[in-house]
Structure 1
Amino acid sequence: MTYSVKEMFYTLQGEGAQAGRPSVFCRFAGCNLWSGREEDRASAVCSFCDTDFVGTDGPGGGKFKTAADLASAIIAQWPMGAGGTPYVVFTGGEPGLQLTEELIDTLHRAGFECAVETNGTQQLPSNLDWVCLSPKGASEVILTRCDELKLVFPQPEAPPERFNTVNARYRFLSPLNPWGEEVILPARQDSTRAAIEYCLAHPDWRLTIQMHKVVNIA
């Protein structure tokens, strides 16, 4: 198959249980919960997305005809010889629309650990090392197990209680950052306070923030 990648870059993981870990991010193009076009945002299942996943024109992006081709591009992003276990995070958009066992096997042979950030609506390859499940809106989540459950909060159609039956090692609330520059700061403050209060009342949940935005890295 041909893989469509919006962008690829080396940075630090900014959220959740792996926060601060050096990572290659491979952002697949396309999503099943929003077209990525502004004219469709209001009617999208995930209307608060702040990520550009349309096309293949980002840094490191492009069309990759084989798993070996894409794996080679990912491997080239990692500073080989610098120590540490190579780590790649597949994200999107929705990576479950394109991610394959063949790609992950190829990266495993190169010594990589492979993680995914998914909305949980698609079946995933069974050979992933780390699964971050981030449900969106009223979408049907078909995954029942994950390493971390990272829920944007608050979402009226996706309250934390809805996911009590998901088997997760870690549960995180990530404060909602609504789209629209004129409302970002006060709305973010309200969402953060709500997430803090929920975690204090429900200690099985932890707060996570977008550290990469705080320290201004990709």
Structure 2
Amino acid sequence: MEHFYTIQGEGFHSGRAAYFVRLAGCDVGCVWCDVKESWDAGSHPVVKLDALMKEIIATKADFCVITGGEPALYDLTGICSLLKRNGIETAIETSGTAPLAGDVDWYCFSPKKFKAPVEEAYYKANELKVVINHPSDFSWAEEHAVKVNASCKLYLQPEWSKQERFLPQIIAYVKENPKWSLSLQTHKFMNIP
């Protein structure tokens, strides 16, 4: 759908320069999604991998985030191999609803209530990022936290349009449950893509 060089705004790698590759196509369909235009893969042009890699390399980026839509719908073996061959660390941001085809360095697992994740998402996850959109999401987050591996970083993130309501609750929850950390969409505060 789009690709650009920016600053990672959320989660473990927040604040780090990152080249984003946003793939079109999603079978989850979150009602609060902030990139609904990514859902229909057919409405976006296909970009050749060689051309994309030239643009990524030209930025001198050392970190690439593959996101969507839902990027795990695709075989990412080719892009992941090229990124690694060029010394670029690779991350995926996924709802974990499909098995991953491709070798990534960082697996950010952000499960959604709209479609269940596959089991592999729990053991591959380096980071569990749960969006808080409703009070019941706290207990739902805990249900997922007990299934991920012991070294997985745990994040609670307010849904952007409800952040005034949920940010104080998340802060209080993290203080009571310090295994969790707070993730904010800092790129939106900075008004950068």
- TM exceeds 0.5? yes
The within-5 A match list for 1:1-218 is 6-34=1-29, 46-51=30-35, 52-55=37-40, 62-64=45-47, 69-80=48-59, 86-125=62-101, 127-142=103-118, 143-145=121-123, 146-155=125-134, 156=136, 159-163=140-144, 164-167=146-149, 168-177=151-160, 184=161, 187-218=162-193
Contact 2:63–2:88 (Cα < 8 Å) also in 1: yes
1:16–1:71 CA distance, 2 compared to 1 (3 A): farther
Moved more, 138-147 or 194-203: 138-147
Between the aligned partners of 1:31 and 1:11, the Cα distance in structure 2 is 23
Give the CA deviation at 1:71: 4.7
Percent identity of equivalent pairs:
33
Q: CA deviation at 1:215?
A: 1.0
TM-score, normalised to structure 2, is 0.86
| Gapped regions of structure 1 (runs ≥ 5) | 1-5, 35-45, 178-183
Q: TM-score, normalization: structure 1?
A: 0.77
| Number of residue pairs aligned between Structure 1 and Structure 2 | 185
Structure 2: stretches of 5+ with no match in the other structure: none
Query: How far did residue 107 of structure 1 move?
Result: 1.8
Larger Rg: 1
Distance of 2:27 and 2:70 partners within structure 1: 7
Runs of 4+ in 1 over 6 A off after TM superposition: none
SS of 1:159's equivalent in the other structure is: helix
